[in-house]
């Protein structure tokens, strides 16, 4: 086919029929993929391009042709719309996107994701998802080995919030198996414990599960943001005195903002003495388990009854890839099964132990495993370890850089690869004794953030925490970030904030 004809062919209407047809769709697909590879994959991660082409919500509505109408469009029109989607989306794979606990485009992970999409599986029975079923078993096995479990069970869930809820569900069911049929009515007031810096999903899960957010007791943290184990003991005792029924503790390994690692050994001792389930939310910090240099941060995690560990965070797998592990084999199925006879027939011709879907809360479920398996296969464990070590090295470099730079101030020594700090503009440096100083400092980060987003130069988030005014949290999980980038981040924040 000549180029001219190919180009003309995009003028055809998309048509309503399902079903790929090379004569109708080949050229469209190749054009679409070219757009993606040029503008999203390579263009969107090129340091010379913007992280975001910022447009206010009301204006963006005008720029994007979002309306869904009676008539369809031509393939060429559709490509233009998809081009706009790419243009105005935040480039979360860009090395200057250090805004969230996910980032990067890993080419091998992306390839795995694209393969998954082309196969469009749902992972509940071996019959429908043979490869993905076996692959999940393999990846869970290897991850459980890094945790140090002798035996394990596990699953992939749509995000860390869901994985944390699986942990709380198992904790409740393990202690009160009657909840499955009869519910919690009449059981009394069940109480969970977590730190004040734990992720909000623990509270959301308590709301969902009918426990109530007030029945998640938030334990104090020490100066480094780690759960205060003495306070935990006091909270448990107080809860019992008040008629509560403590049933679990959720320790956080890599808190969302500060990156603190709760002391697992000491918390496990408390749980053992008190008869409580120990869940470790290592969604963010779990990646360190892959590194011989940094795994000590999670010493004792094999004692946890259950664990959340998100490869889409520190290990930089594409979104979403969240793993839930437990040492209690069979409990997930006992807790969550409904034995639907239309899906989990027992008269199948193969071993239905491979029909793993009934331990999940979801029925249909995306295969989140392949993208991560592809990365691991590509790089080997050694490659993943180098990735993790690079992140910690760059976090260390950033820390040392701002320690020496006037106007920057660390909130605390980082334990993980998120680094929290303030930038103090020159105008504020003489105001430290001003009673309004904190209020003034509080306004700095939002203003710098606005400037960086509007210029598209980088993205880093900020937040207050307890009595601390707004501070920045730089997050490293993209191992493409190098020494020059670290210098760029510091210079850029200074440049954007020095006149404030």
Please, is 245 exposed, middle or buried when counting C-beta atoms within 10 Å of its C-beta (0-12, 13-18, 19+)?
Answer: middle
Residues 400-439 within binding reach of a second copy (CB under 8 A):
none
Should residue 382 be labelled a site residue for a second copy when binding is judged by CB under 8 A? Answer: yes
Among 312, 398, 421, 490, binds a second copy (CB under 8 A): 312
Task: Identify the residue among 76, 114, 196, 269 touching a second copy (CB under 8 A).
Answer: 114
Candidate residues 27, 91, 279, 303; the one interacting with a second copy per rule CB under 8 A:
91
Q: Cβ 273 to a second copy, closest distance in Å?
A: 25
- Asked whether position 218 contacts a second copy by CB under 8 A, the answer is no
Is 214 a binding residue for a second copy by CB under 8 A? The answer is: yes
Choose between 78 and 440: whose C-beta lies nearer to a second copy.
78
Closest separation in Å from C-beta 260 to a second copy: 13
Instruction: Return the number of other C-beta atoms located less than 10 Å from residue 195's C-beta.
Output: 28
* Binding test (CB under 8 A) with a second copy, winner from 27, 96, 98, 105: 105
User: Distance from first CA to last CA of the chain, Å, rounded?
Assistant: 60
d(CA 30, CA 53): 25
For a second copy, which is the closer residue by CB, 99 or 306? 99
Site for a second copy (CB under 8 A): how many residues? 181
CA 51 – CA 49 distance, rounded (Å):
7
Separation between Cα atoms, residue 159 and residue 173, nearest integer Å: 21
Radius of gyration of the chain (CA): 25
Least CB distance from residue 137 to a second copy, whole Å? 9
Strand-strand pairing, 277-281 and 189-195:
unpaired
Site for a second copy in 241-280 (CB under 8 A): 256-257
* 98 touches a second copy by CB under 8 A: no
Judged by beta carbon, residue 229 or residue 280, the one nearer a second copy is 280
Least separation in angstroms between residue 159's CB and a second copy is 5
Residue 232 sits in the site that holds a second copy (CB under 8 A): no
Q: Check binding of 460 to a second copy (CB under 8 A).
A: no
Detail the DSSP E strand segments found in 91-188.
Answer: 153-157
Q: What DSSP string describes 24-38?
A: HHHHHHHHHHHHIII
Verify binding: residue 48, a second copy, rule CB under 8 A.
no
Among 158, 300, 407, 456, indicate the residue that binds a second copy (CB under 8 A).
158
Residue of 49, 401, 455, 461 interacting with a second copy (CB under 8 A): 461
Residue with smaller CB distance to a second copy, 95 or 229:
95
Tell me whether residue 349 is exposed, middle or buried, using C-beta atoms within 10 angstroms of its C-beta: 0 to 12, 13 to 18, 19 or more.
exposed
| Nearest partner of 190 among 234, 139, 249, 103, judged by Cα | 249
Residue 268 CB, shortest distance to a second copy, in Å, is 26
Q: State the binding string over 465-484 for a second copy (x if CB under 8 A, else -).
A: x----x--x----xxx----
Binders of a second copy in range 323-352 (CB under 8 A): 335-336, 338, 340-343, 345, 347-351
SS3 content of the chain, % helix, strand, coil (to 5): 45, 15, 40
Both structure tokens of 261:
């690692």
Taking phi first (over 0 means left), then psi (-120 to 50 degrees means alpha), and beta for anything else, what does residue 34 get? alpha
Q: In what order do the strands lie in the sheet with 461-465?
A: 408-410, 418-423, 468-475, 461-465
Q: State yes or no: residue 10 binds a second copy (CB under 8 A).
A: no
Residues 4 and 383: their CA atoms lie apart, in Å, by 45
**Minimum distance from CB of 309 to a second copy (Å)?**
14
Shortest separation between residue 79's beta carbon and a second copy, angstroms: 9
């Amino acid at each position: 086919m000549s180029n001219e004809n190919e180009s003309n062919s995009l003028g055809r209407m998309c048509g309503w029929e399902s079903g790929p047809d090379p004569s109708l769709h080949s050229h469209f697909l190749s054009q679409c993929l070219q757009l993606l590879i040029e503008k999203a994959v390579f263009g969107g991660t090129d340091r010379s391009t913007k992280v975001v082409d910022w447009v206010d919500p009301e204006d963006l509505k005008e720029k994007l042709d979002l309306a869904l109408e009676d008539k369809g469009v031509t393939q060429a029109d559709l490509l233009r719309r998809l081009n706009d989607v790419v243009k105005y989306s935040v480039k979360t794979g860009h090395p200057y996107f250090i805004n969230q606990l996910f980032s990067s485009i890993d080419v091998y992970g992306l390839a795995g994701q694209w393969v998954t999409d082309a196969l469009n599986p749902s992972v509940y029975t071996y019959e429908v998802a043979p490869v993905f079923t076996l692959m999940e078993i393999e990846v869970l096995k290897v991850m459980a080995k890094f945790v140090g479990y002798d035996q394990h069970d596990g699953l992939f869930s749509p995000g860390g919030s869901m994985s944390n809820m699986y942990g709380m569900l198992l904790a409740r069911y393990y202690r009160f198996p009657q909840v499955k049929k009869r519910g919690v009515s009449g059981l009394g007031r069940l109480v969970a414990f977590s730190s004040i810096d734990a992720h909000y999903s623990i509270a959301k899960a308590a709301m969902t599960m009918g426990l109530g957010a007030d029945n998640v007791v938030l334990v104090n943290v020490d100066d480094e943001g780690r759960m205060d184990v003495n306070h935990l003991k006091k909270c448990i005792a107080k809860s019992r005195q008040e008629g509560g029924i403590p049933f679990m503790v959720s320790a956080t390994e890599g808190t969302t903002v500060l990156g603190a690692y709760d002391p697992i050994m000491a918390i496990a001792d408390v749980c053992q003495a008190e008869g409580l389930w120990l869940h470790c939310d290592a969604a963010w910090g779990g990646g360190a388990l892959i590194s011989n240099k940094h795994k000590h941060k999670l010493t004792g995690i094999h004692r946890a009854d259950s664990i959340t560990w998100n490869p889409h965070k520190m290990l930089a797998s594409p979104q979403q890839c969240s793993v839930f592990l437990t040492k209690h084999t069979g409990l997930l199925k006992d807790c969550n099964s409904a034995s639907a006879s239309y899906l989990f027939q027992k008269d199948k011709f193969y071993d239905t132990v491979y029909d793993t879907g009934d331990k999940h809360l979801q029925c249909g479920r995306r295969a989140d495993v392949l993208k991560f398996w592809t990365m691991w296969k590509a790089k080997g464990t050694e490659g993943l370890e180098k990735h993790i070590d690079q992140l910690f090295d760059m976090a260390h470099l950033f820390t040392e850089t701002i320690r020496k730079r006037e106007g920057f101030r660390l909130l605390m020594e980082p334990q993980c690869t998120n680094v929290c700090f303030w930038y103090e503009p020159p105008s504020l440096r003489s105001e430290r004794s001003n009673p309004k100083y904190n209020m003034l400092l509080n306004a700095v980060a939002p203003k710098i953030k606005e400037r960086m987003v509007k210029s598209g130069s980088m993205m880093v988030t900020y937040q207050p925490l307890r009595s601390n005014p707004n501070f920045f949290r730089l997050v490293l999980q993209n191992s493409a970030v190098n020494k020059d980038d670290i210098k760029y981040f510091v210079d850029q924040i200074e440049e954007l904030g020095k006149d404030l």
